[in-house]
Amino acid sequence: MSTTAATPAFANEPLLELRRADVRASALEALAALDARLPLEVPMLIGTELVRGEAFASVDPGAPERIVAHAHAAGAAHVDAAVARAVDGQQVWGARPAAERAAVLRRAAELLRGRRLELAALAVRECGKPWPEADGDVCEAIDFLMYYAAGAEALDRGRPLIQMPGERNTMKYVPRGVTGVIAPWNFPLAIAAGMASAALATGNAVVLKPAEQAPACAKAVVDALHAAGVPHDALSLLPGGDEPGRALVADHRVHTIVFTGSCAAGLSILESAAKVQHNQFHIKKVVAEMGGKNVVIVDADADLDDVVPALLSSAFGFAGQKCSAASRVLVHAQVHDALVERLAGAVRTLQVGPAEDFATDVPAVIDAAAQMRVRRYTAQAAPAATRVAAASEALPAGDGFYVAPTLLVGLPDEHPVIQEEIFGPVLAVQSVPSIAAACDAVDASRFALTGGLFSRSPKTIEEVVARTPVGNLYVNREITGAMVGRQPFGGGRLSGTGPKAGGPDYLLPFVEARAVTENTVRHGLVV
Amino acid sequence: MLMDAEATRDLDIESSVTTIGRALVAAMPTARKTPRAAVERRVMAAMVDDPELRAAVFRFVDVRPACTDPSDLARHLGELLAEADDSPLAQRGAALAGGALTKRPVAAAAALGVKQMAQRFIIGADAQAALPAVEKLWRAGVATTIDLLGEATVTEEEADSYAERCEVTLRVLHDAARRWPERPLLERDAAGAIPRVNLSVKVSALTPLLRPTAPERGIAGAEARLRRLLRVARDTGAHLHVDMESFDTREAVTELTLRLLSEPEFVDGPSAGIVLQAYLTESPQHLDRLLAWARQTPRAQPFTIRLVKGAYWDHETVEAVQHGWTPPVFQDRRACDRNFEALSRRLIDAQDADTPTRIRAAIASHNLRSIAHAAAYADARGADVELQVLRGLGDETQAALLQEGRRVRAYCPIGDLVAGMAYLVRRLLENTSNDSFLRAQAEGVDLTTLLEKP
C-alpha cells in the first residue's frame, strides 16, 4: 500500500448549500461587504517586506470599470530578491518536522474556512466565477491544504524496504529545494493553494507568481498561509505578468517549477527549465498541467435527458474556462440529430450575465484578449459549420467581456475549432459512425486531459476505458468538477506532466528520495 | 388537561386504526384472484434479496427504450446481467441472453416483460388512448389524476409541447367526462363540488430554466405556461394539481403555484393543489407556509394539499452526501412515518379551519398503517379525506378502499414507454426498497406489526 495515500480522516470540504435562500442571501451580503472595500491592494510580499512597483489593475471581467485590486508587478530584480530569501527560508522551513508543517497547513485551511463567503465573493469579482464555482474554488483550496498536509505526513514515514540480517535499510523523502509556483486565474484560490501547499507540505520554500488576472485571490491564500505560521522567507508573492514568471523559471536556485496554464507557456517553461546553468548543480523538475481539448463521446444508447444537461454544464459552466471543460462532442450517428436538436434548444436557454447574479449560466470570459480569441474562433467556424446555435438572449450591456455560448455542428476534423483549445464557451458536435471511430478521433488528439462517455452498455464502457488516453474519464456524468482525493486530476500527452493534483502521487515530484543502508554487523555479530 | 384530552383521543384512534386496517386487508383482493400480481411479487421479492440482480434489472429497464432492435436489446441485457457477478440467477440469465440460439426469444421476452410492467403503471400513450381506462376506473368508483410523462425538458420547444399536451388532455378528458355516470362520493365533499377531471403537472416540464440556486428564473420560465393551464382548467372546470419533485425545485414550485393562485383572475377557480412531501424534515414548516397562504388568500375554490412520502429519497440522500450536506430527507423510516401521521392530522384539522381558502386533504400512500391512521383520524373528526394511490402499485389498496366506501383517487401516468422509464424505475425502486411497506406486506409480515404505531 502506498504510504502517500491520504489518511482516512480526509473528507472534502462541504460546498455551500446555495439552493437555500438564506445561504444565497449571506453570500450576497459578503459580496456587498467586499465591494465596499474595493479596490484592494496587492503589493509584492518578499520576505517580511511589502514591496511596491509598477501598479496594474485587476478588474471584474463582467464590469471592467470595477477595479478589484491594484497590484504591483514584479520585475527580474524582485524575483532575484524573493529567491534569495527563499534560499534562506528553505533551510528553516525544510528543517521543521513534517507534522509541524502539516499543522501549519491545517491552520491555514481553518483560516480559509472562516472566510468562506468572503473568499468566494472575491473569486466572483476578480475572475467572474459564478457562485457555485467560486465556492467550489474555496472548498478545493481547503481540500488541497488538508489533503497534502496528510499526504506529507504519510510520506515522511518513508517506504518499507526489504530488510536482511546485518543491515538496516530505510528510504526517506527530503525536500528538493526552492519551488517556483506559477498559478492560473481559472481556479484562482484552489490551484494557487494546491500548488503552493504541495511544495510547502513537503518542506520547500515557495515563490508564488499568480496569474496577472488574479493577484487578489492569490494574496488571500498567501495571507492565510503566513497567518497560519509559514515563515515569510519560505513564501513570497510576486504579482505580475510574464516577466517575473520567466525570471523565476530561469533562476538557477530554483529546483522545482509548478505550473498550470496554457500548453504554449508550459512547453516554453519545460524548455527553459531543462537548461542547466554553469552554477547550477541540480536538474530542475517541472510539474505542469497544461491545455486540453476535451471530448465527450455519446453512444447510441445514451440517455439524452442526462446528456444534454451534462454537456451544458461541462461546456458552458464558468464560460468553458476550466481545463476540464468539454469542447467537442462525438455522437453516434443514430442519435446525432436528436441530440443536436435538443442541445441547440438548450443552448438558447442559457443566460449570459454577471457572475454575481445567481441566475447567470454563463459569465464573462476573463479578459478582452480572451473575448477576442473566442469571437475569432466562432466567426471563423460559422461558415464551415452545418449548424450554429448560440444563446439567443442579448448579451448584457456594458463593457463586460461577454461572448455568446455557441454550439457548432458538422465541422471537419481538421478545423482549428476541432483541434485547438479555445478556453471559452464553444462546443463543437460531430457525428461518428461508431464508438470505435470516436475513440480513434480522441486518440488522434495532441491533448489527453479529460474525456467523457455516455453509454449504457457495460462492454462499451469497458472498451472506451481501455482505449482512452485521457487522464480523467467521466462516464455518464458531466466532465468537470474533479474532487480532491476522489478524482486525482491531470492528463498526459501535451496536457501535462501528469502527477495528478489531489491524488496520492502528487507530492512525489516535490521530494528527493534518499535510501540509507547501515551495516549493523560488528565483528561478525549483528548489533 | 389538554394533554390528557389529546392522549385519550390518540388512544381512541389507535383502536380504530387497527379496526380500519384489518378491514382494509380483509377487503384486498387475494393473490389467488390476481395470479399475475402474485408472480410480480415473487419477482420483486427475488430482486430485493439479490441487489446485483436488482441493479441489472433496473439498468435494463432504463436502457430498454434506447435499444433499436432485438439483438441490441439482447446485447444490453446480456451485458448487464453478466455484470452481476455474485448473482447466480443473473449469471444464468446472462448465459441465456448471450447464447446465439436463444438471443432473440430472450430479448423479446425481456422486452415484453418490461412493456407489461410499464403498462401496469402507465395507462396509455396519450389522453385519447387512456380514456377507456380512466372511464373504467370512474365507473368502478375510482377518481383519477392524470400525469403526463415525457422526456426531461431542456428546451423551450419541449416546454411548449408539454404544456400543449396538458391542454389537450384537459380538453379531451373534459369532453369525455361529461358522459360519465354520477358518482356522488367522488363528486362532492364538505368543501363543495369536486371536479371530475384532475390533471397533475410538473413545473420542471413547463420550463427548461429551473435552477436550484435561482428559483426566480424557473418561476419566470414556467409562469406563462402554468397560467395558461390554470385558465384552461378553470374554463373547463377541471382540477389542476402541481406535483412536487426534487428538493432542488421545491422553492420555485411552491412560490410559483402560490403566486399564481393568488392572482385576481384565479380567485374563482380553478380548483388547484400542491404536494407536501413528508420525507422532508422541513415539511412541517412547509405546511405552515401553505396554511398561512390559505389564511391570507381568499379563493372560491378549495386548495388541495396532497400528502405524500416522496419519491426521490435515494436521489436526495446521494446528492446531499456527495456534497457534504445534511440530507433534507429523514434517514429514519419510523421518524418519517411519524411525521406523515402528524402532517395527516394537521391537514385534516386544517380542512375545518375558518380560512378564506378552504383546504382539502388528500392522503397519498400505500402504507396500510398511514392510510388507516388518516382514515381513523378523519372519522374521529367527522372530516372528509381523500385517499390516493398510484396506478399499478396501489391497485389492491385501491380495491380495498373502494370496497370500504372511501373516496379514492388513482394517480395515472400517461405516456410512451420511452418517456415512462424514469417513472417506472422510481416506482420499482419504491416497491423493492428495504423499508418498503409493500415489500413487508408481500413478505407476509404480520398485520399487527404492519399496523404498529411508528
Report d(CA A270, CA A257) in Å as an integer.
9
Inspect the interface and report whether the beta carbons of A309 and B152 lie closer than 8 Å.
yes
Q: Model's pTM, two decimal places?
A: 0.94
B chain contacts of residue A302, beta-carbon cutoff 8 Å:
66
Q: What are the CA-CA distances from residue A1 to residues A154, A198, A471, B77 (Å)?
A: 12, 21, 22, 37
Kindly identify which residue of chain B lies nearest to residue A347, measuring between CA atoms: B155
* B297-311 pLDDT per residue, tens: 999 999 999 999 999
Interface predicted TM-score of the whole assembly (ipTM), two decimals: 0.93
Inspect the interface and report whether the beta carbons of A458 and B79 lie closer than 8 Å.
yes
Contact between residue A291 and residue A495 where contact means Cβ atoms under 8 Å apart: yes
Kindly identify which residue of chain A lies nearest to residue B82, measuring between CA atoms: A458
Report d(CA A289, CA A292) in Å as an integer.
9
Inspect the interface and report whether the beta carbons of A345 and B324 lie closer than 8 Å.
no
Inspect the interface and report whether the beta carbons of B79 and A13 lie closer than 8 Å.
no
Instruction: Note which residues in 53-92 of chain B have CB less than 8 A from chain A.
Output: 59, 62-63, 66-68, 72, 75-76, 79-80, 82-83
User: Which candidate from A17, A309, A361 shows the least CB-CB separation from B325?
Assistant: A17
Contact between residue B354 and residue B330 where contact means Cβ atoms under 8 Å apart: no
Q: Please provide the DSSP assignment of A23-59 as one string.
A: HHHHHHHHHHHHHHHPSEEE-EEETTEEE--EEEEEE
Interface test with B, best of A12, A19, A352 (most B CBs within 10 A): A19
B chain contacts of residue A13, beta-carbon cutoff 8 Å:
324
The H or E element that residue B253 is part of is helix B247-261
Chain A residues touching chain B at CB-CB below 8 Å: 11-15, 17-19, 21, 24, 131-132, 300-305, 308-309, 312, 334, 342, 344-346, 348-349, 351, 357-359, 361, 456-459
The H or E element that residue A81 is part of is helix A76-95
Report d(CA A274, CA A278) in Å as an integer.
13
* B37-95 pLDDT per residue, tens: 666 666 667 777 788 888 888 888 888 888 888 888 888 888 888 888 777 777 777 77
**pLDDT for res B392:** 86
Contact between residue B148 and residue B162 where contact means Cβ atoms under 8 Å apart: yes
Q: Counting every residue, how long is chain A?
A: 527
Inspect the interface and report whether the beta carbons of A301 and B209 lie closer than 8 Å.
no
Distance from A113 to chain B by nearest Cα, in Å? 14
Task: Flag residues of chain A having pLDDT under 70.
Answer: 1-8, 393
Q: Which one-letter DSSP state was computed for residue B280?
A: B
Active site includes A323? Answer: yes
CA atoms within 13 A on the CB side of A306: 20
Report d(CA B92, CA B102) in Å as an integer.
12
**pLDDT for res B118:** 77
Inspect the interface and report whether the beta carbons of A358 and B151 lie closer than 8 Å.
no
- Helix and strand numbers (H, E) in chain A are 15, 23
Inspect the interface and report whether the beta carbons of B217 and A12 lie closer than 8 Å.
no
Inspect the interface and report whether the beta carbons of A456 and B66 lie closer than 8 Å.
yes
**pLDDT for res A187:** 98
Active site includes A118? Answer: no
B chain contacts of residue A305, beta-carbon cutoff 8 Å:
151-152, 154, 422
Distance from B221 to chain A by nearest Cα, in Å? 10
**pLDDT for res A5:** 45
Distance from A214 to chain B by nearest Cα, in Å? 25
- Helix and strand numbers (H, E) in chain B are 20, 10
Buried/exposed code over A309-345 (b: 16+ C-beta within 10 A; e: otherwise)? ebbbbbbbbbbbbbbbbbbbbbbbeebbeebbbbbbb
B chain contacts of residue A308, beta-carbon cutoff 8 Å:
152, 154
The H or E element that residue B136 is part of is helix B127-140
What rounded mean pLDDT belongs to chain A?
96
Q: Are strands B239-242 and B271-277 parallel, antiparallel or unpaired?
A: parallel
Residue B324 sits at the chain A interface (C-beta within 8 Å): yes
Report d(CA B105, CA B111) in Å as an integer.
10
Question: Dihedral of CA A19/A22/A25/A27: which sign?
Answer: negative
Q: In 10 A of CB B413, how many CB atoms?
A: 24
Interface test with B, best of A23, A24, A341, A457 (most B CBs within 10 A): A457
Q: E-strand spans in A347-464?
A: 387-390, 406-409, 426-432, 447-448, 450-454
Report d(CA B27, CA B16) in Å as an integer.
16
Q: Which one-letter DSSP state was computed for residue A422?
A: -
User: Which candidate from A132, A457, A459 shows the least CB-CB separation from B213?
Assistant: A132
Q: Residue A318 carries which side chain, given as an amino acid letter?
A: F
Which set of grid coordinates corresponds to residue B178? 361529461
User: Which candidate from B79, B212, B217 shows the least CB-CB separation from A457?
Assistant: B79
Task: Flag residues of chain B having pLDDT under 50.
Answer: 1
B chain contacts of residue A484, beta-carbon cutoff 8 Å:
none
A chain contacts of residue B211, beta-carbon cutoff 8 Å:
358-359, 361
**pLDDT for res B6:** 64
Q: Please provide the DSSP assignment of A278-341 as one string.
A: TT--S--EEEEE----EEEEE-TT--HHHHHHHHHHHHHGGGG-STT-EEEEEEEHHHHHHHHH
Instruction: Note which residues in 179-218 of chain B have CB less than 8 A from chain A.
Output: 208-209, 211-217
